[in-house]
Chains A and B, each alone.
Chain A
């Protein structure tokens, strides 16, 4: 068991192997003593604060390290006690390895540090099947619990159900899902436990949705909205993961345009067919190679309209700069092009949005319910 304490008292850590929960709690208490500062020595006392418990389920050390950086960056706005859990159920020995850290930042406008605790738990062996029993004792009482599930959902729902049972807000990243059906499964489990669900992948679509909404409204293609002839959604190619972002966008688009999602059918490779008033609307979901954005993210969308023998087009696409979007509108009376810089879609930004807004997002839940036939068709 090793202990490393920074004499500066502003970035403290502790690690332990084969430890029990009481020991972890005792070390957390010790960290709190150390981060408090010494008023008698003229130090300004640090403020230890947490507005939430953030439980991160990470597949491996690399993901855990990334999550740790995100949480540290978020600490100024969303100070939390973070529990980062890496489960290794395949190992023989059942044990918990722990490292603790207190991250302290100077509070804006104050000569005081704000400190948050981070607990990283490597849980091996049979204990990894009972993570709930390890997480619950380490939560700060009576604070909201946000669970951030960073990877694909496991085939077995037991742990998800347990975590939904304790979470107020369950955040997934469906770009990591290996089965599109997990979107529906996640919603069902969350509904069963009255837990709000959020998806970072859907959050990444915020700018795209805003742009399409704005350009298909009054002053744009508002009159054409019920006359979509076909749609094309291109996204970056990926090996194992599903085109969840494209499907989520399509579901949103279908609701936005009034298409009948119940009618979704698979129509050949990368093609789905939806209907609006008995009219078929082919939708092409096309994986493409594109550098500079993560796997499965949107590259472009194109909506072709046809009304009274006239055609129109709306195209929203990334340029060479991943954050620069070009919106092109082709109407019978002319062509307009607009370049828009969108917000970054890194985990920190989208997670911040999730935490800033009300966790219960009925619109997103309705979207997931409506998208079920679409998901089924896409899986086919």
Chain B
């Protein structure tokens, strides 16, 4: 093969590929816009990474003017931006902010919005490219999509593109996810749908691919021959806060496992993709999710655990029981903790358990993937340790906080008598790259503007993840009711979670 014939299999998208466009935010007066989207857009503006002339049009039920929206956005940026507000950059950015109000299922409101969009596009000379962001409760997704479809039929699409970013949760079970996919596909082609899981925008999550596939030493040991088991933990110290009524209809499995944890699992377990592009990476993620062994009801009882927190103390503060949180019914049976053991029936991972756990009101906030390797084949140094077993090598990938990678191995303590002690080779993003990383939303918004869907979830991924979770939900539904609450706030979850892993002779990691 000559150099000229070689194909570039990666598809880096430069900033110059960002077309002029309008971002339409549904839910513009909501919490997500305030805390994440506006600060992210402002930071992109600060770095000069937004397309020239970009307009942002907010839409929600709140009756704001353009000026009120701008004022609100300024406050949000001042409060939540990772970098301070620069007045000159702000003025320029704010001149592109507009607002229109109306109900999400209200045709008149959407017509007003469409009119506003046409005015703004004409005034700023930015054509008809639109990125719709559904920063709204999932109950309104279908209404908005249908209205977008109706409005689109009324206008000639021409050469411009329309993309839609849809926040999680995408469905509440397999059937609803399929139905939502169907509705979305009546208006948008799959290539224009960007199901966002902000975990995928985190630098450390993206670094999983780099770590695995840009380092030659990893791939040979990344399999059942060398890996004993994998643990994925997403723990939160906070409770449900003001999201009680939403969360109570969701629970830990739907809120965390189906999306964030399944994505982490897929990135850790997937086969090497042919290229780092939206098609190849997502193809491999789907394959590995489809290889996850599905539970039957008996296995759900043995290989999963769930819990709900009672009152306790977290980080030196008294924490109420879940059932005492705002918006949560007194007799709620929603799980705030979920743990499970999965197997992936593939050549690479046959027989390797993947232990997953997530919960609210756990002792600390931490997201980590830990790959525990099998012990050395011959115990030459057994006499030099005081534990019955040599500590295994563990590669831990910390997603948050203190993003980094750590490898634990045994070393000899200097001196005599001989003694072994674990030590860690620790890579911390913060100290190795002394620069602030962009927020996940900055990364993902820019990717969506550039049409790069690699870090977004495809419809078949969503279906694959729900197929796994549906079995768990059905199993839980058929089991006798649990005594709830069954763990104290500030502890690592119910005893059943410990029993789940200890039955296999293993323990959850101390985080």
Contact = CB atoms under 8 A, between A and B. Distances in A.
Interface string B69-101: 000000000000000000000000000000000
Contact of B386 (A38, A49, A359): A359
A127 B316 contact: yes
A130 B401 contact: no
Given A38-B434, A130-B313, A137-B363, A21 B237 contact: yes
B509 A133 contact: no
B408 interface: yes
A141 B396 CA distance: 10
A33 B511 CA distance: 22
Given A141-B396, A142-B510, A133 B423 contact: no
B316 A133 contact: yes
Nearest to B431: A36
A45 to B, nearest CB: 7
A154 B386 CA distance: 30
A229 interface: no
Contacts, number: 96
A339 to B, nearest CB: 26
Contact of A356 (B318, B415, B424): B415
B462 interface: no
Contacts of B313: 127, 130, 132-133
A228 interface: no
A130 B370 CA distance: 29
Given A133-B363, A137-B363, A143-B424, A21 B510 contact: no
B381 to A, nearest CB: 13
Contacts of A223: none
A51 interface: yes
Interface string B336-366: 0000000000000000000000000001111
Contacts of B318: 126
Contacts of B368: 141
Interface in A118-165: 123, 126-127, 130, 132-134, 136-137, 139, 141-145
Contact of A20 (B317, B385, B432): B317
Interface in B301-321: 312-318
Contacts of A141: 366, 368, 396, 398, 509-511
A357 B419 contact: yes
Interface in B230-276: 237
A45 B422 CA distance: 24
Nearest to B368: A141
Given A33-B434, A127-B316, A357-B419, A137 B424 contact: no
Interface string B293-335: 0000000000000000000111111100000000000000000
Nearest to B396: A142
A166 interface: yes
A49 B317 contact: no
Interface in B468-511: 490, 509-511
Given A33-B431, A356-B415, A133 B315 contact: yes
A271 interface: no
Interface string B366-403: 10101000000000000001110000001010100110
Interface residues of A, number: 38
A142 B430 contact: no
Nearest to B387: A360
Contacts of B511: 141-142
A38 B406 CA distance: 22
A337 interface: no
A136 B396 CA distance: 18
A137 B314 CA distance: 9
Contacts of B312: 133
A29 interface: yes
B491 to A, nearest CB: 9
B410 interface: no
Given A36-B431, A133-B490, A358 B316 contact: no
A45 B316 contact: no
Given A21-B315, A36-B434, A29 B426 contact: no
Interface string A78-103: 00000000000000001010000000
A142 B394 contact: yes
Contact of B401 (A25, A132, A356): A25
A360 B387 CA distance: 8
A20 B313 CA distance: 13
Nearest to A145: B510
Contacts of B406: 142
A137 B492 CA distance: 12
A32 interface: yes
Nearest to A30: B430
A87 B423 CA distance: 31
B214 interface: no
A360 B426 contact: no
A48 interface: yes
Contacts of A130: 313, 316, 490
Name the residue among A127, A141, A359 with the largest chain B CB count within 10 angstroms.
A141
Contacts of B428: 32, 48
A254 B268 CA distance: 58
Given A33-B434, A137-B237, A142-B406, A96 B316 contact: yes
A45 B430 CA distance: 12
A360 B421 CA distance: 13
Contact of A32 (B370, B387, B430): B430
Contacts of A145: 510
B282 to A, nearest CB: 31
B175 interface: no
B157 interface: no
A232 B340 CA distance: 61
B413 interface: yes
A116 B237 CA distance: 26
Nearest to B489: A133
B386 A94 contact: no
Contacts of A32: 428, 430-431
Contacts of A134: 315-316
A126 B432 CA distance: 40
Given A22-B315, A32-B431, A141-B368, 7 more contacts: A21-B237, A22-B365, A134-B315, A137-B364, A141-B396, A145-B510, A360-B387
Ranked 10 nearest A-B pairs via Cβ: A137-B364, A358-B386, A130-B313, A36-B431, A21-B315, A127-B316, A133-B313, A136-B363, A134-B316, A360-B386
20 contacts: A20-B316, A20-B317, A25-B402, A29-B430, A33-B431, A36-B432, A51-B421, A94-B317, A96-B316, A132-B490, A137-B315, A137-B364, A141-B398, A141-B511, A142-B406, A142-B510, A196-B386, A356-B415, A358-B386, A360-B386
